[in-house]
Amino acid sequence: MIQIFPIAGIPEVEEGADVASLILEAVASSDLELQTGDVLVVTHKVVSKAEGRFIEASDEQSYRKAVESEARAILRRRGDLVITQTHHGFICANAGVDRSNVPGERAVLLPVDPDRSAHMIRMKIQQGVGIDIPVVISDTFGRPWRRGQTDVAIGISGLEAISDHRGQPDAEGRTMEATEVAIVDEIAAAADLAMGKAARVPAAIIRGVDWRHGSARATDLVRPPQEDMFR
């Protein structure tokens, strides 16, 4: 059985805040506890806010300017929608620049290095509770051919990104074909079900997933250009 616990009670995050401590405090004042085998999922927005990744976006023009400067490449444009590749390599709308749930006339950018942000949170959690808990930092991305958005992993620490079943025997004893599960993306999507969008629940604990220790980065999930048929 898998369980997903939303972590409520995290206050609005300001620049300079210690996200790991805020999470540990919220966990301590709830009836939750972190256990070995858990994965901690944190939405990128609180991480970006803590890292001071704000930009002035009082009007459409300044927002557009922020999107352009956050984009390494522009794949498509249609009206106000720009499909971009970010400096990290992720392909998403508007270079991840986000105005929702941000106080004031500002927008929030993606963390500079979300894998490093995940690593820092993981280290602080380990210092705080003495358990090594893998961390997944999530964002909400659209998909080219399917309506609606799902949460995916943009930063990870402490686990493998892909659960690789290639070459394993299937239930028929035959070798399984292309089956590389993007397990950290499924973890991010599952956590989103517990967090909701409008409520201020920026983190969740997911328990019971068959993940593996590893040192993968979320940027490992970016399909290299030579494999990419849709850029």
Distance CA 153, CA 229 (A): 22
Q: Is 152 in the site for a second copy (CB under 8 A)?
A: yes
Q: Is 2 in the site for a second copy (CB under 8 A)?
A: yes
How far are the Cα atoms of 45, 84, 147, 222 from residue 216, in angstroms, in the given order? 22, 24, 29, 12
Applying CB under 8 A, the span of 66-74, 119-127, 128-136, 165-173 interacting with a second copy comes to 165-173
Q: Is 146 in the site for a second copy (CB under 8 A)?
A: yes
Q: Report, in Å, the least distance between residue 190 CB and a second copy.
A: 4
Q: Is 145 in the site for a second copy (CB under 8 A)?
A: yes
Q: Is 127 in the site for a second copy (CB under 8 A)?
A: no
Q: Report, in Å, the least distance between residue 208 CB and a second copy.
A: 8
Distance CA 120, CA 38 (A): 17
In a 3-state reduction of DSSP, which class is residue 55? strand
Residue placing its CB nearer to a second copy in the complex, 16 or 227: 227
Q: Is 61 in the site for a second copy (CB under 8 A)?
A: no
Residue placing its CB nearer to a second copy in the complex, 127 or 193: 193
Per rule CB under 8 A, count of chain residues that contact a second copy? 73
Residue placing its CB nearer to a second copy in the complex, 147 or 213: 147
| Cβ–Cβ < 8 Å for 125, 24 | yes
Distance CA 115, CA 214 (A): 13
Distance CA 13, CA 16 (A): 9
Applying CB under 8 A, the span of 50-58, 64-72, 127-135, 164-172 interacting with a second copy comes to 164-172
Q: What is the CA radius of gyration of the chain?
A: 18
